[in-house]
């Protein structure tokens, strides 16, 4: 595979705009993934943030002049024709007129053309150098700006024109959100999970995972829905691995054993491997070539799971604790747009990728195999659903009762191990929220509570 490098840009303290919280942390985490998990040499990565160290004698402060200079110099020095450049930006962006802009740390919204970096200019530089690029933009913080709107439409057109696969953190009418518990933006959190748990990563994997995982994170952390936009140009293979075999091996070696799960047997009719959470393939809306030029664009609008399909219990911890103790169902407020409703029993319906549905926890099945159908590789949510389903099975014999209890214990232990895997990655809040799913009557409940106490002490602030 061709040579690969990464440029990661993150900005918090803008000179003329409101401050962001986790742009720098996002960019640093992306760079650390490539060095620590992917096994790249640090010389393959360039980090430009408010606080990043100099590279040799050159400043890495992310103002417009430095970003433009580094784009040219880095690409010329590190890449050759046909090589792959990963480009990540976490900061502010704005759409004005017919152009989308990334705002450097010294950018001014009243002089976008002269102080900011247009997406057109960025993509033209990639073409001039002759490199392939893979672009990730977490830039729709327009709620902090007084001019323009979110980037999206112009970038989509340019991604098609320049044949550059591009992933945006949300639709142009939505906002990108950050969360103190995660210590990152929601988009970057989902992207890091995708990178860390998919050694055989391809564009389709990124698209599918980000779409559903961002919907879950938005719901989990009480944020408005973020629906990412993926632009995969016509003629670019969605299924070709984006990592070399060497990089794949390095990533595989860093995945906790309990999270890294080999492919599920064909009898289960699933292909969800390599993931702590592997979503079903979402519906897509294709924007016709006549609308935005030639080629196919995958653009998510309303294809993400609706509120009632996203697990609510993970964010309502007190309610979860009470209901787990009672061994009952999960009650949550349905926040769908249909209007105000009374609290109701949430019975999650999960697609399996072929249009059929998985049995819900309220199905009352008397077969333990039905409960096992919930379980997805490395996914704590599905194991908790399996526990709920197993509790509803009336044991017909002592042996059946023992088998049910053994399965519940196994799933409880696996939930804890998944939570521990997040903690090992220092995703403290995600580890805590995952561990809350271990029921009170599980033998590892005390161990889990002790671990949660330790993880809470690691949270910032």
Do 384 and 400 fall within a single domain?
A: yes
Return the SS3 of 265: coil
Do 13 and 136 fall within a single domain?
A: yes
As a dihedral over the C-alpha atoms of residue 123, residue 125, residue 131, residue 133, rounded to 10 degrees, the angle is: -30
Q: What is the DSSP string of 64-76?
A: HHHHHHHHHHHHH
Do 335 and 219 fall within a single domain?
A: no
Q: What is the DSSP string of 57-101?
A: TB----SHHHHHHHHHHHHHHH--TT-EEEEEEESEEEEETTEEE
Q: Does some domain include residue 386?
A: yes
Q: Does some domain include residue 461?
A: no
What integer pLDDT is reported at residue 219 of this predicted model?
83
Do 239 and 106 fall within a single domain?
A: yes
Does residue 11 surpass a pLDDT of 70? yes
Residues 406-419 have pLDDT tens digits of: 999 999 999 999 88
Residues of the domain holding 364:
307-456
Task: Kindly state the helix (H) or strand (E) to which residue 10 belongs, with its residue range.
Answer: strand 4-10
Do 231 and 163 fall within a single domain?
A: yes
Mean pLDDT, the chain, integer: 76
Residue 185 pLDDT level (bands cut at 50, 70, 90): very high
The residue among 241, 273, 299 that closes a domain is 299
What integer pLDDT is reported at residue 361 of this predicted model?
38
What integer pLDDT is reported at residue 352 of this predicted model?
36
The residue-averaged pLDDT of 170-189 equals 91
Do 269 and 356 fall within a single domain?
A: no
The fraction of the chain above a pLDDT of 90, given in percent, is 37
Query: Which residues lie below 8 Å from residue 292, measured CB to CB, with a gap of 6+?
Result: 153, 156, 157, 160
Q: Report if pTM > 0.75.
A: no
Query: Which residues lie below 8 Å from residue 30, measured CB to CB, with a gap of 6+?
Result: 6, 8, 88, 188, 191, 192
What integer pLDDT is reported at residue 187 of this predicted model?
95
Residue 67 pLDDT level (bands cut at 50, 70, 90): very high
What integer pLDDT is reported at residue 349 of this predicted model?
32
The fraction of the chain above a pLDDT of 70, given in percent, is 74
The residue among 271, 299, 327 that closes a domain is 299
The residue-averaged pLDDT of 66-88 equals 85
Do 316 and 452 fall within a single domain?
A: yes
d(CA 241, CA 200): 6
Return the SS3 of 343: coil
Supply the CATH number for residue 33's domain.
Answer: 3.40.50.1460
Question: Strands (DSSP E) along 228-335, which ranges?
Answer: 229-231, 285-287, 297-299, 331-332
What integer pLDDT is reported at residue 173 of this predicted model?
84
| Region label for 209, one of left (φ > 0), alpha (ψ between -120 and 50) or beta (otherwise) | alpha
The residue among 299, 333, 349 that closes a domain is 299
Q: Does some domain include residue 17?
A: yes
Does residue 4 surpass a pLDDT of 60? yes
Residue 456 pLDDT level (bands cut at 50, 70, 90): confident
What integer pLDDT is reported at residue 177 of this predicted model?
92
d(CA 186, CA 223): 9
Per-residue DSSP letter, 401:
H
Residues 222-241 have pLDDT tens digits of: 888 888 999 999 888 888 88
């Amino acid at each position: 595979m061709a040579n690969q490098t990464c440029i990661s840009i993150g900005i918090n303290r803008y000179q003329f705009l409101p401050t962001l919280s986790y742009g720098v942390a996002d960019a640093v985490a992306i760079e650390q993934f490539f060095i620590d998990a992917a096994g790249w040499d640090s010389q393959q990565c360039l980090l430009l943030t408010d606080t990043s160290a100099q590279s040799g004698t050159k400043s890495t402060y992310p103002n417009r002049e430095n970003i433009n200079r580094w784009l040219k110099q880095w690409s010329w020095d590190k890449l050759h024709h046909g090589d792959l450049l990963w480009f990540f930006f976490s900061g502010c962006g704005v759409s004005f007129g017919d152009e989308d802009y990334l705002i450097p740390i010294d950018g001014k919204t009243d002089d976008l053309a002269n102080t900011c970096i247009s997406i057109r200019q960025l993509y033209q530089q990639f073409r001039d150098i002759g490199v392939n690029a893979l672009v990730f933009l977490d830039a729709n913080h327009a709620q902090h700006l007084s001019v323009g709107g979110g980037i999206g439409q112009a970038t989509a057109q340019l991604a098609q024109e320049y044949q550059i696969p591009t992933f945006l953190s949300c639709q142009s009418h939505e906002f990108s959100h950050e969360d103190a518990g995660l210590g990152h933006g929601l988009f970057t959190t989902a992207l890091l999970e995708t990178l860390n748990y998919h050694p055989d990563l391809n564009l389709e994997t990124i698209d599918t995972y980000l779409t559903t995982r961002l919907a879950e994170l938005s719901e989990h952390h009480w944020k408005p829905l973020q629906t990412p936009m993926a632009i995969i140009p016509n003629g670019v293979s969605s299924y070709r691995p984006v990592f070399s075999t060497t990089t794949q091996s390095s990533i595989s070696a860093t995945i906790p054993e309990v999270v890294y799960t080999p492919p599920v047997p064909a009898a289960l009719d699933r292909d969800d491997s390599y993931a702590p959470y592997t979503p079903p393939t979402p519906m897509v809306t294709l924007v016709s070539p006549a609308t935005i030029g030639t080629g196919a664009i995958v653009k998510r609008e309303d294809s993400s799971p609706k509120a009632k399909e996203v697990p609510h219990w993970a964010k309502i911890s007190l309610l979860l604790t009470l209901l787990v103790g009672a061994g009952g169902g999960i009650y949550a407020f349905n926040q769908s747009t249909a209007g105000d409703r009374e609290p109701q029993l949430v019975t999650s319906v999960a697609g399996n990728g072929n249009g059929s549905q998985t049995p819900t926890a309220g199905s009352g099945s008397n077969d333990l195999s039905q409960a096992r159908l919930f379980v997805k590789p490395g996914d704590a949510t599905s194991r908790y659903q399996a526990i709920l389903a197993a509790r509803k099975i009336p044991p017909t014999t002592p042996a059946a009762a023992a088998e049910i209890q053994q399965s519940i214990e196994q799933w409880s232990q696996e939930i804890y191990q998944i939570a521990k895997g997040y903690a090992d990655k220092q995703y403290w809040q995600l580890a805590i929220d995952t561990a809350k799913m271990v029921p009170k009557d599980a033998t590892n409940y005390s161990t889990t509570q002790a671990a949660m106490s330790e993880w809470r002490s690691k949270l910032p602030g």
